């Protein structure tokens, strides 16, 4: 089988819950996103600006944040096994996230996966409020008008087949690049409504078995 680039979203995909939601729920100000929503809808502020305001209210140390994430956002079963399987067959796994490096590194490190390549943004947590820094995702994407995950995937693809796994709004544009798409939750609904084929999944054991059987069919 041709080598695979397996691009995987982090929040709500590798983890069972979105760590950003967990962090805001534990340490942020209730209702702030709803209060920002009208200005977001009219385009008065960007999603990034809304997130900066939301996380500015998150008053907690990095240690407190990581403790809450570890307790409330465990990883979905089978992810380490999928990574092992991929590495043994010469496939590459890359985590492509709109979340924060500090959090992702801690969760992956706990799972023995600190070696994984990660493309994400970053957050600096403090009891005085959290500051976000956005990674460089080049020019606005010509398809979605945002600095989206396509940029991170395009610069990593070296002729492999692309497998994409995700669950949310930030995956909608990038999943369109995939040769094989796995989706859950909102992303699954979005693709279903548009008649775009995808494979639903509950855990990564299922994903691995599907990729294994594809490899067998291709042999």
Q: Interface with Mg ion by CB under 5 A: which residues? A: 9, 11-12, 167-168
Residue among 3 and 47 whose Cβ is closer to Mg ion: 47
Least Å from the CB of residue 72 to Zn ion: 30
Residue among 76 and 150 whose Cβ is closer to Zn ion: 150
DSSP of the chain, one letter per residue?
---EEEEE-IIIIIBSS-HHHHHHHHHS-TTHHHHHHHHHHTTSS-HHHHHHHHHHT----HHHHHHHHHHH-PBPTTHHHHHHHHHHTT-EEEEEEEEEHHHHHHHHHHTT-TTSEEEEEEEE--TT--EEE-----SPPTTTSS--THHHHHTT-SSPEEEEEE-SGGGTTGGGG-SEEEE-HHHHHHHHHTT---EE-SSHHHHHHHHHHHHHHH-
Least Å from the CB of residue 131 to Mg ion: 22
The entry of Mg ion, Zn ion, none near residue 157 (CB within 5 to 8 angstroms by kind) is none
Least Å from the CB of residue 168 to Zn ion: 14
The entry of Zn ion, Mg ion, none near residue 173 (CB within 5 to 8 angstroms by kind) is Zn ion
Residue among 18 and 152 whose Cβ is closer to Zn ion: 152
Alpha-carbon distance 100 to 121, whole Å?
5
Residue among 18 and 213 whose Cβ is closer to Mg ion: 18
Least Å from the CB of residue 104 to Zn ion: 21
Residue among 106 and 162 whose Cβ is closer to Zn ion: 162
- Measuring CA to CA, which residue among 182, 183, 18, 187 is closest to residue 100? 18
Alpha-carbon distance 139 to 148, whole Å?
9
Least Å from the CB of residue 138 to Zn ion: 11
Residue among 175 and 207 whose Cβ is closer to Zn ion: 175
The entry of Zn ion, Mg ion, none near residue 12 (CB within 5 to 8 angstroms by kind) is Mg ion
Least Å from the CB of residue 145 to Mg ion: 20
The entry of Mg ion, Zn ion, none near residue 141 (CB within 5 to 8 angstroms by kind) is Zn ion
The entry of Zn ion, Mg ion, none near residue 143 (CB within 5 to 8 angstroms by kind) is Zn ion
């Amino acid at each position: 089988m041709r080598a695979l680039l397996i691009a995987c979203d982090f929040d709500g995909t590798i983890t069972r819950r979105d760590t950003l939601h967990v962090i805001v729920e534990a340490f942020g100000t209730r209702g702030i996103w709803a209060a920002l929503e009208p200005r977001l809808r009219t385009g008065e502020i960007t999603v990034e600006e809304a997130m900066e305001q939301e996380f500015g209210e998150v008053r907690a140390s990095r240690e407190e944040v990581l403790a809450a994430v570890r307790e409330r956002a465990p990883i979905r079963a089978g992810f380490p096994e999928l990574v092992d399987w991929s590495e043994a067959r010469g496939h590459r796994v890359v985590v492509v996230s709109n979340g924060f490096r500090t959090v992702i590194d801690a969760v992956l490190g706990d799972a023995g996966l600190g070696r994984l390549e990660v493309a994400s943004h970053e957050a600096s947590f403090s009891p005085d409020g959290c500051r976000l820094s956005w990674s460089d995702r080049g020019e606005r994407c010509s398809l979605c008008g945002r600095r989206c995950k396509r940029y991170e995937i395009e610069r990593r693809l070296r002729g492999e087949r692309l497998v994409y796994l995700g669950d949310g709004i930030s995956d909608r544009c990038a999943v369109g690049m995939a040769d094989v798409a796995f989706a859950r939750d909102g992303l699954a609904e979005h693709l279903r409504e548009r008649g775009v084929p995808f494979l639903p999944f509950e855990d990564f054991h299922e994903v691995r078995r599907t990729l294994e059987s594809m490899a067998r069919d291709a042999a």
